[in-house]
Amino acid sequence: MAMIDLRSDTVTKPTPAMRRAMMEAEVGDDGRLDPQGMGEDPTMNRLEAMAAALLGKDRSLFVPSGTMGNVVALMTHCRRGDEVVVGEKAHVLNIEKAIFEEEFFGLIPVTIPDPAGKLDLALLEKALKTKPIRLVCVENTHNFAGGAAVPPEHLQKVQALAHAHQVPVHMDGARLFNAATALKIEARVLAATVDSVMFCLSKGLSAPIGSMIAGTGPFMQRAWERRKLLGGQMRQAGVVAAAGIEAIRNMVSRLEEDHQKARVLARVLAETGGLKAPENFHSNMIKLDLTSLNFSAKEFQAEMAQRGVKVHIHAPTEIRLVTHKDVSEAECLQAAQIISQFWKERRREMA
């Protein structure tokens, strides 16, 4: 049976243009610097310059994963034992974890509710006034808030509060371009609200590997050193940078298609399955709460797999559907019908 894979946008395969660019990439040793401090891989240098210009930051740096990007950024801003404000549902806190684990990097999280992906501003201000906060972290789009796009107006308030206490702000923008697309603004408007930002090339943008971190010159110099310490420095990295260049050039503008497919999916789920509109639904993700079905996410996942749809478990009674380049609108429609059908059957059984 052909499966419709809605687990994540990380399942996207590189495009033929990416594969060609990878094959033809001009490369050098990215770990060796010339007297101007530039690595020797010309393709990587081009990608890093492009990403920095796109986000309006001084410099950017390629890292193998979003997790390493966040770790490098947080290690650059902080020292072991520093207190960091982070949303209760933040990916960096709940999934990546290592940065806050004593045996790894030992930062101390000061968690604040982040409904709809927005930090509670009153609690943020209180934390800044009462604790020696070293950094504030935000996330956009916000994964556990159902792909919520956090608007610049909120982020500017976070920035103003943090900066009033000389505290920098870091953004986990794994899906920054989804946020910008949903908000109909340039990504640089969101990047301007933070001191450092990470975004992934390997999610909806479909590159096989890699994320970028961007920030000011001195910060990025220290970040380069941190990345080296973590083993994130690579050699002929132009082979993957070439795909990243393609991703930035040609894949950002198509993210709206993914959001459109998610709207189709949500509409059909509501119309035919009677599922209520998902919370904070702005981009390419749909969260489904299974409590009304009295079904666990694990059971739901197994049932859907038998019916031809792959879904992702978000929480014990919550699943996530993500649209992306490698599912068509017709497949999204079909998946919505399969899920709706099951939903109705289950409701009937329970009645």
Residues that bind ligand PLP (CB under 6 A): 65-67, 91, 139, 143, 172, 174, 200, 202, 211
Which residue number, 10 or 334, has a Cβ lying nearer to ligand PLP? 10
Which residue number, 223 or 275, has a Cβ lying nearer to ligand PLP? 223
Which residue number, 67 or 340, has a Cβ lying nearer to ligand PLP? 67
Shortest Cβ 156–ligand PLP spacing (Å): 21
Shortest Cβ 209–ligand PLP spacing (Å): 9
Residue 179's Cβ-count burial label (10 Å; 0-12, 13-18, 19+) is buried
Shortest Cβ 26–ligand PLP spacing (Å): 26
Shortest Cβ 333–ligand PLP spacing (Å): 25
Plot region of 254 (φ>0 → left; ψ -120 to 50 → alpha; else → beta): alpha
- β 169-173/196-200 pair status: parallel
Shortest Cβ 266–ligand PLP spacing (Å): 20
Q: How far apart are CA 190 and CA 119, in angstroms?
A: 15
Which residue number, 65 or 337, has a Cβ lying nearer to ligand PLP? 65
Kindly list the distances between the CA atom of residue 215 and the CA atoms of 14, 87, 134, 204, in Å, as whole numbers in the listed order: 27, 21, 17, 22
Give the closest residue to 318 by CA, choosing from 4, 1, 89: 89
DSSP H/E element including 287: strand 285-289
- When CB distances to ligand PLP are compared, the closest residue is 66
Shortest Cβ 143–ligand PLP spacing (Å): 4
Which residue number, 211 or 317, has a Cβ lying nearer to ligand PLP? 211
Tell me the angle at which helices 238-246 and 42-55 cross, rounded to the nearest 10 degrees.
40
Shortest Cβ 9–ligand PLP spacing (Å): 9
Which residue number, 91 or 325, has a Cβ lying nearer to ligand PLP? 91
Q: How far apart are CA 180 and CA 174, in angstroms?
A: 12
Which residue number, 11 or 192, has a Cβ lying nearer to ligand PLP? 11
